[in-house]
Amino acid sequence: RKEVEQDPGPFNVPEGATVAFNCTYSNSASQSFFWYRQDCRKEPKLLMSVYSSGNEDGRFTAQLNRASQYISLLIRDSKLSDSATYLCVVNVDLGSWGKLQFGAGTQVVVTP
């Protein structure tokens, strides 16, 4: 079983709509959580960290559910520029970022 699992998609979303997707993780000792965005054939870039209380950054909302071991990302009022692959990243060991585990990504395609 993979340590971090994501629905690969694609999630086809009309412009202006809302899309949400989850990421599950297997290690209950996981300490910190992140969403990265990766455009086609480009490098990943940090989108947002995920805090226990949930957090929002503009049109993006991230939530953590420790009991069920998943994090979620919601995108409101989708823009064409939101089309990308969203990577879920989990850190098991705060003592070393070498313990980061990446999901394979969820592809989002926003259509006009």
Partner 1 sequence: DGGITQSPKYLFRKEGQNVTLSCEQNLNHDAMYWYRQDPGQGLRLIYYSQIVNDFQKGDIAEGYSVSREKKESFPLTVTSAQKNPTAFYLCASSIRSGGENTGELFFGEGSRLTVL
Residues that bind partner 1 (CB under 8 A): 2, 4, 8, 32, 34, 41-46, 49, 87, 89, 91, 93-98, 100-105
- Report the C-alpha gap between 75 and 64 in whole angstroms: 15
Q: Output 32 or 72, the one with its CB closest to partner 1.
A: 32
Residues paired with 69 in a beta bridge: none
Task: Provide the minimum distance between the beta carbon of 5 and partner 1 in the complex, in angstroms, as a whole number.
Answer: 9
- Report the C-alpha gap between 91 and 98 in whole angstroms: 8
Q: Output 28 or 96, the one with its CB closest to partner 1.
A: 96
Task: Provide the minimum distance between the beta carbon of 16 and partner 1 in the complex, in angstroms, as a whole number.
Answer: 30
Three-state SS at 103? coil
**62 with 54: CB under 8 angstroms?**
yes
Q: Tell me the pairing of strands 19-25 and 70-75.
A: antiparallel
Q: Output 61 or 105, the one with its CB closest to partner 1.
A: 105
Task: Provide the minimum distance between the beta carbon of 15 and partner 1 in the complex, in angstroms, as a whole number.
Answer: 27
